[in-house]
Structure 1
Amino acid sequence: MPGAGTKAPPFQPWREALKQVLLNMTTYDTIPYPSYSYPQSAPGTLSAIARIFGMQPTHVTKARVLEIGCASGGNLLPLAARYPAATFLGVDLSEKQIEQAKQQASALDLENITFEAKSILEFDIKEEKFDYIIAHGVYSWVPANVQERILEICGENLSNNGVAFVSYNTLPGWNAVKTIRDMMLYHTRNFDEPAQKVLEARRILNFVIEGLEAASGPHKQILEREVNTLKETDDNYLLHDHLEVINDPCYFHEFMEKAGKHGLIYLGDAGLPSMFLGNYTERVSNTLRQIDDTIRQEQYLDFIDNRRFRETLLVKEGCSLNRRLTPAILDGLRFIPCYDLSQPIETGSEGTVENLDLVALQGGRKANMIGKIACVAYVALLRAAPLPQSLDEIAASAADISDIDKKVIRKEFGVLALKLIFNGVLSVTTDNVPYHIKTPSEKPKAFPVARLQSLTMNKVPNLRHEIVTLSNDLKLVFQYVTGENSKEQIAELLKEHIEKGELTLHVNGKPLEKDSPDIEQYLPQYIDARIMNLANSALLVG
């Protein structure tokens, strides 16, 4: 209590909220949250979505980007390396992770990126404006005052044509997850050490699975699905997503009401297919089309889908958005295939194929494409991968392998492409920086950020801001792909690892002994295959 003659300091809610955050920060230093690139938050993707809905956002090459909750910089560092004329600022409460981010930026000689270790409650950026603001994996895990501050920064510091990306847990989907979370929190409440908390949480998950063996009905199905999902997750995800003191999911309309108080409106979702009524039954889509309110429409879709996570894009109030989309909006965008061929096409028939069976690159979902122009254009796009292509480039390449005029291809595929974007078959970007290559040079060079991070982790960012998981042997090759070593020099360096037993070559599924004379024959083939793998994964620079 204050002494005689002293005045008690005024109550400041933000300081109380800060105390709650600080109490939980030790877990982020003990078991850091994984810091990766998030392709959904890439400015090239955000600007493409903004253009689709009628905006003219700043191009990523000269943008100002802020990330709230940047951890050790896994999302910002690849962007800063790719766009030297843009500027980047990352803020996070964890001093340990910010120090790691600074060390990586220094090792990469990046001068266009700054990291600050502080709470955003004390983060003062005054009148500074940002073209892109990213808050991924933060909003649901902080107190209400911090949530308000995130939205306040978006409202005050977003440029007039800027885009803010905020991800958060949503209801109703998190209702089922909440049961599992409450169970784990109850069981681990007497354990303070983070690693022990995770261990005990996994024990209670196993206990529940055993207890459900004799059960039946929807309750068992819901619990089994959630428990089995969590059993496959990393410890750091389980700790920070489910065992933190704060995990506050909300309904989409509630989030937008709060955002609206800070002068923000809804642009769209980073996952465009979730917005497309055509992905639902005719009765559902016809009913919801009668609602002239995008937020209400999507709230009903969340109820139908039992949605549990959102990646919402916000813009400043007053932005003129166009919801009546035509193929003309695709000018200036570049396309990336999200599906591959389920079976190779017979050589020489690429220009005549009229039916394609496709499989999603992530998740394995299947699709079918019908029609000569559609199929030939999509084959041309796949042949160009991993390089994003414009409609003009797709049409020109498709015309080269078929007997169809490129103007006809561009017009018809342009109409189809709009539907394919919202079906999830294509993703879009405005990124046209010719940075990564498809054909390796004699002295191949890895993306420096990915190569640096591969020294300590298997998951690295590629030049499309995606996460690529490297096998142990590919990590070994990767460290020598510096742009200074020829393939012959890489071979000599790898021989040392073979002799030490750190690398084993396989031929026809059988391992070669380290003193086998066949190593001289197969090692160049092995290196060629691995380097082509890196090129196809968008991990090599020109």
Structure 2
Amino acid sequence: MAEVVDAAPFAYDAIQYPSGVNALQTPDRIRAAGLLHGWRGPDPATASILEIGCGDGYNLMGIAAVSPQACCVGFDLSRAAIARGRDVLALSGLANVELAVGDVATYPLAGEGFDYIICHGVYTWIPYFVRQPLLDLIGARLKPGGVAYISFDALPAAAPKAAINRFLVKRVADIAGLEARVDAAVRLLAILARNQHSQSRLKVQLDQLMNDLPRYMQGYFVHDWLAEHYAPITLADFRAAAGTAGLRCAGDASLFDLYTGDLDDEAKALLAQASDDPAERSNIMEILRGAHQFRRELLVRVDAPPPPAPNGLDELSFGYMGERIESRDEEGEAIIAYTDGAAHVVARTPLVCAVMDELLTVSPNELTLADLAERIGGDRVILAGEVRRLAIRTLVTAHGTPQNFTTSPGERPRTPGLVRAMMSLGPDTITLRHSKLSLEHNADQELTRTFLTLCDGSRSRADIAQALTAQSGQEITPQKVDDAVTRFAAARLFEP
């Protein structure tokens, strides 16, 4: 693909957007979501993957690191972001990634197709006239049976955010300097938050924003809340635009549209009317709940969708990275709950406890449905139903590919080339299950980064201890290396 050579200055070149590492936008999790929705996406291990608006390409490189036979292509309008990604790519040893500067409006519609197309956080942050070309590009380059992931802010939930965005952008537009614009915007937000009427439809959004603001990275705040182009869209309008490109919605990647456990009977009956239309089901869920601002839609070709997979659960592996909490209610009855900090489930039956305890026992390793059936016994159909419900609740993570990490590295432990490259450049890296691991607040950050870069498979643990001792000037014993290997193996950083 020819690179853009005469593009106008771009906001994302001037202000870096934080590097994105999001497991939901990987073929592994996309395929898992599809299987839970009842259809089978292509095998991620050998898939061709295009990421539109890939930024620095970290997300794409994380995908490539666990699927060396996959072909990964990404483009972005930001030259600075692509340059950062290429620096990491050059050190990583990855031979299956291509990063390029490119524009949605001019990217070729003709060419080799892709099994997976990913477009995260672009659609509602670009001008209206670019939106249909973006969907047309996906429709043109998605292979038969392929799956696209596209995320965007949606109405009605995003209406307060859109109003706040327009208010801020208008009032800081003429302020010179990034820091001054951000400071002015934050002051305006504080004024708005303090003066909301108790019945204000903006109050919930403002209260949440003010609570989250101290943790926001500046680049995220600027490109999201001060975005020049920001216009959320209803799911119905998005579905119509996708249809024009020969695409249809096939479910939500976050599985939001599958969880009905807290709906009453009349709501479930309403949903049943759309049992054969995933897009309409999602639309009904959106109105029923009214709280999903950020959508993660899965798109497939109207003329060639993926094949059905009625027994898709058998193709998944399941993991749990949380804890078990035991307490008692006011009457002294035992309460057993499981939480990972984001999702929370109270175990109402012995079977739920059995499933969660087995997953907790092997964590961070994973188990298939067959593994769980062998360990727990009982009725396979009932077990499958319970596992599916836990996966839909997202407390249990469903994976569409087998784990490609080991929790028992050998005498010569090996981290992927991408981990070593990222550790040589900074405090963050990507695990082999596509989560972000940061050493930013680690007291021994430099020593730890050096340790992980030395784990290239060529050195014994004693060799690593000796090299660390020589480089750090402090005694690093083989036992300390063993402890570090155990700790970072639990973080899923070592290759089998």
| Cα deviations by residue, 1:382-404 (Å, 9 ceiling, x for unpaired) | 222223321122333x25xxxxx
Unpaired runs of at least 5, structure 1:
1-17, 345-354, 400-405, 501-518
Report deviation, 1:474.
Answer: 6.0
* Residue 532 (str. 1) matches residue 486 (str. 2): yes
CA–CA distance in structure 2, aligned partners of residues 526 and 180 of structure 1: 52
Aligned partner of 1:230 in structure 2 is: 213
State how far apart, in whole Å, the 1-side matches of 2:469 and 2:189 are: 45
Q: Measure how far apart 1:492 and its partner are.
A: 5.1
Give the conservation status (yes or no) of the 8 Å contact 1:24–1:245.
no
* Shift of residue 39, structure 1, vs aligned partner: 0.5
Cross-structure match for 1:516: none
Matching of residues 330-409 of structure 1 within 5 Å: 330-337=313-320, 339-342=322-325, 357-363=336-342, 365-396=343-374, 398=375, 406=377, 408=378
Shift of 1:235: 0.5
Q: Deviations over 1:144-200 (max 9, x none)?
A: 222111111111111111000000011111122223323321331112433432233
Amino acid in the other structure paired with 2:494: L
Alignment-derived partner of residue 261 in structure 2: 278
Residue number among 387, 391, 394 corresponding to 1:424 in the alignment: 394
The structure-2 alpha-carbon separation of the partners of 1:146 and 1:428, relative to structure 1 and needing over 3 Å to count, comes to same
1:82 positional shift: 1.8
- 2:408 corresponding residue in structure 1: 439
**d(CA) in 2 for partners of 1:225, 1:237:** 16
Report the TM-score, using the length of structure 1 for normalisation: 0.80
The answer as to 2:227 corresponding to 1:244 is: yes
Give the secondary-structure state (helix, strand or coil) at the position aligned to 1:218. Answer: coil
1:447–1:462 contact (8 Å) kept in structure 2: no
Q: 1:388 to 1:373 in 2, by over 3 A?
A: same
Separation (CA, whole Å) in 1 of partners of 2:282 and 2:228? 29
Question: In the alignment, is the contact (CA less than 8 A) between 1:53 and 1:321 conserved in 2?
Answer: no
Residues 12-31 of structure 1 mapped to structure 2, 5 A cutoff:
25=10, 27-31=11-15
Answer whether contact 1:273 1:421 (CA < 8 A) is retained.
no
From 439, 449, 472, give the equivalent of 2:418: 449
Task: Work out whether residues 454 and 475 of structure 1, in 8 Å CA contact, stay in contact via their aligned partners in 2.
Answer: no
Which of 128, 132, 141 aligns to 2:116? It is: 132
Match of 1:76 in 2: 60
Q: Distance in 2 between matches of 1:321 and 1:356?
A: 42
Q: CA deviation at 1:526?
A: 5.5
1:513-528 alignment runs, 5 A limit: 527-528=481-482
In 1, the alpha carbon distance for the partners of 2:9 and 2:228 equals: 7
AA at the equivalent of 2:93: D
Q: Which residue of 2 aligns with 1:479?
A: 450
Q: Using the TM superposition, give the Cα deviation of residue 311 of structure 1 relative to its aligned residue in structure 2, in angstroms.
A: 0.5
Cα deviations by residue, 1:474-502 (Å, 9 ceiling, x for unpaired): 643143232345445555555578769xx
Whether the 8 Å contact between 2:147 and 2:298 is mirrored in structure 1 is: yes
Change (3 A) 1:532 1:132: same
Distance 1:524 1:473, change over 3 A: farther
Q: Measure how far apart 1:128 and its partner are.
A: 1.3
Q: Does 1:182 align with 2:166?
A: yes
Output the amino acid matched with 1:536: A
Q: How far did residue 287 of structure 1 move?
A: 3.0
Cα deviation, 1:341-360, whole Å, max 9, x if unaligned, reads 2259xxxxxxxxxx873333
Q: Which structure 2 residues correspond to residues 86-165 of structure 1 after superposition, within 5 A? A: 86-124=70-108, 126-165=110-149
Shift of 1:114: 1.0
Q: Within the alignment, does 1:253 sit opposite 2:232 as a pair?
A: no
Q: Matched residues in 1 for 2:285 and 2:314: separation?
A: 29
| 1:267 maps to 2:250 | yes
Equivalent residues, number:
478
Q: Considering only CA atoms, is the larger Rg found in Structure 1 or Structure 2? A: 1
The one-letter code matched in structure 1 to 2:252 is D
3-state SS of 2:451 partner: coil
8 A contact 1:132–1:164 mirrored in 2? yes
**1:313 corresponds to:** 298
Q: How do 1:319-330 and structure 2 match up within 5 A? A: 319=304, 328-330=311-313
Structure 2 vs 1, CA of residues 369 and 267 (structure 1 numbering), >3 Å: closer, same or farther? same
Distance 1:539 1:409 in 2: 36
Instruction: Rate the CA distance shift 1:472–1:291 in 2: closer, same or farther, 3 A.
Output: same
Structure 1 Cα separation of the partners of residues 462 and 183 of structure 2? 47
Q: Gaps spanning 5+ residues in structure 2: where?
A: 328-333
Quote the RMSD (CA, aligned, Å): 3.0
Match of 1:415 in 2: 385
1:258 corresponds to which letter in structure 2?
A: A
CA distance in 2, matches of 1:23, 1:174: 30
Q: Which moved more, 1:198-207 or 1:101-110?
A: 198-207
Mapped partners of 2:187, 2:120: distance in 1? 29
Moved more, 196-205 or 64-73: 196-205
- Whether the 8 Å CA contact 2:40–2:307 is kept in 1: the answer is no
Q: Write the distance in 1 (CA, Å) between the matches of 2:282 and 2:295.
A: 11
Q: How has the CA–CA distance of structure 1 residues 320 and 180 changed in structure 2, closer, same or farther, with 3 Å as cutoff?
A: closer
Contact 1:279–1:423 (CA under 8 A) maintained in structure 2: no
Instruction: Give the TM-score, by structure 2 length.
Output: 0.87
For residues 475 and 299 of structure 1, what CA distance do their matches in structure 2 show? 46
* 2:331 paired residue number: none
For 2:155, the aligned partner's letter is L
Which secondary structure state, in structure 2, belongs to the residue aligned with residue 164 of structure 1? strand
Other-structure match for 1:40: 24
More RCO (CA 8 Å, sep 6+): 2
**Aligned residues of 2:427 and 2:449 also touching (Cα < 8 A):** no
